[in-house]
Homo-oligomer: A and B are copies of this chain.
């Protein structure tokens, strides 16, 4: 509620057009609801940030996930991330029509119907990075944005990504997932005039330190159009790319 709305509301109170109780309700606000003593669901998030609250299942019990999903069901599209196959059943039962995908470990239902300015490319350096990419792709789908997949095009065979430049050029944003040395976002960043979202993955061993190395590499990219999300955070990468692609 901005000042203009505030003045209007108060004027209506003054003029008797709005009862005090109405104004109290508006001004007190309460854009959240308690669930089961363990959650405070943010019911106005779509209004503020353009997408309803997404349920991060890791660290929650299957019952907690199901309860929160049931509360959110019907208030726009639903997305649950990091939902392991063995915890998915209660939430699937709770939300009729929800689709579970074991590769991206997501449960989803519905999609937003906002206009977009173009697709988003989702690239990765190797086959092992596919799950993080699929989490991003599912997120984009829920947001109503087309995902163009460009998989297994790492820098050890640089011609593979160069051959896909046409696909990259027609997108509004490019997500680039990579583990190991995390070099691909810099190369892609040097090829396209769009925001590149570096998505470091935990693919690797030894001195990759579970994704720390590609994370650091992407943060130090010599291509200045690269920004970075957390290791394996396909959802965040997809969400930001979706926001950029929107009209």
Interface residues of A, Cβ cutoff 8 Å to B: 2-3, 6-7, 10-11, 13-14, 16, 20, 23-24, 27-32, 37-40, 42, 44-45, 48-51, 53-54, 56, 58-60, 64, 68, 82, 125-128, 130, 149, 151-160, 162-163, 165-166, 179-183, 186-187, 189-195, 197, 200, 202-233, 235-237, 239-240, 243-244
Contacts and interface: CB of A to CB of B under 8 A. Distances in A.
Nearest to A211: B206
A216 B212 CA distance: 9
8 contacts: A6-B24, A29-B163, A49-B190, A59-B126, A182-B183, A209-B216, A225-B240, A226-B236
Nearest to A210: B206
**Most chain B CB within a 10 A radius of its CB, from A64, A125, A236:** A236
Contact of A219 (B45, B128, B228): B228
Given A127-B64, A206-B233, A222 B155 contact: yes
A183 B155 contact: yes
B151 A38 contact: yes
Given A23-B10, A128-B60, A232 B206 contact: yes
Contact of A239 (B183, B186, B224): B224
Contact of A206 (B20, B215, B243): B215
A157 B206 contact: no
Contact of A228 (B53, B64, B203, B228): B228
B191 A158 contact: yes
Contacts of A40: 151-153, 157, 160
Contacts of A186: 155-156, 181, 183
Interchain residue pairs A-B with the least CB separation, the first 10: A206-B231, A59-B128, A183-B183, A50-B193, A42-B157, A227-B227, A40-B152, A156-B190, A181-B217, A213-B216
A230 to B, nearest CB: 4
Contacts of A165: 2
A233 B68 CA distance: 27
Contacts of A162: 158
